[in-house]
Chains A and B, each alone.
Chain A
């Protein structure tokens, strides 16, 4: 089973700061998911990536397959970015996902 570690567990930052959340996993994978869970509980898939970098608005996700590591960056952070960010990796193909414990991000105005 793939072990997934996220850091930090909690992160509080001022509005406008550059945010980095890290995810490490133990077994080689074909793709990695970054999810955002809003305070109300809903989950949104932000990225699915298998190599390199993906960008969507102020969000950037990178992955280094050799080092088994991925990062999620948020530029010009805003209070509405406050949420729990979760990375997830497959155990077999893309069917069974193992989830990290999440990073709780709070952006203060």
Chain B
């Protein structure tokens, strides 16, 4: 058990819809990362939050947004969904930014999104 909780595990929705994926980081970790894994693109970094602030941005579409709340849980919002958004979405947390942190990543079990 990594200590990172992602919900839901599976999500099936239709094109044009909006969904929210949720992530609770490991206790004490301030950094949360979101990744997308698709069959054709592999794993890609989407965005990182650190203690409520956006820290780094990767290949995240404008239709996607994220935030980290004061209790450190994070949500990834995907809107105007397209067939190509079907993928496995992972969140991870680390001790990055914390003094003495070793920055190893701890992954949630992922959310499998299917857009029909």
Contact = CB atoms under 8 A, between A and B. Distances in A.
Interface in A38-70: 41-45, 48
A99 B42 contact: yes
Contacts of B45: 96-99
B107 A101 contact: no
Given A95-B55, A95-B56, A96-B58, A42 B107 contact: yes
A92 B104 contact: no
Interface of B: 2, 33, 42-45, 48, 55-56, 58, 88, 90, 92, 94, 96, 102-107, 109-110, 112
Given A31-B103, A43-B107, A48-B105, 9 more contacts: A41-B110, A45-B105, A48-B103, A94-B103, A95-B56, A96-B58, A97-B45, A99-B43, A99-B45
Interface of A: 31, 33, 35, 41-45, 48, 86, 88, 92-99, 101-102
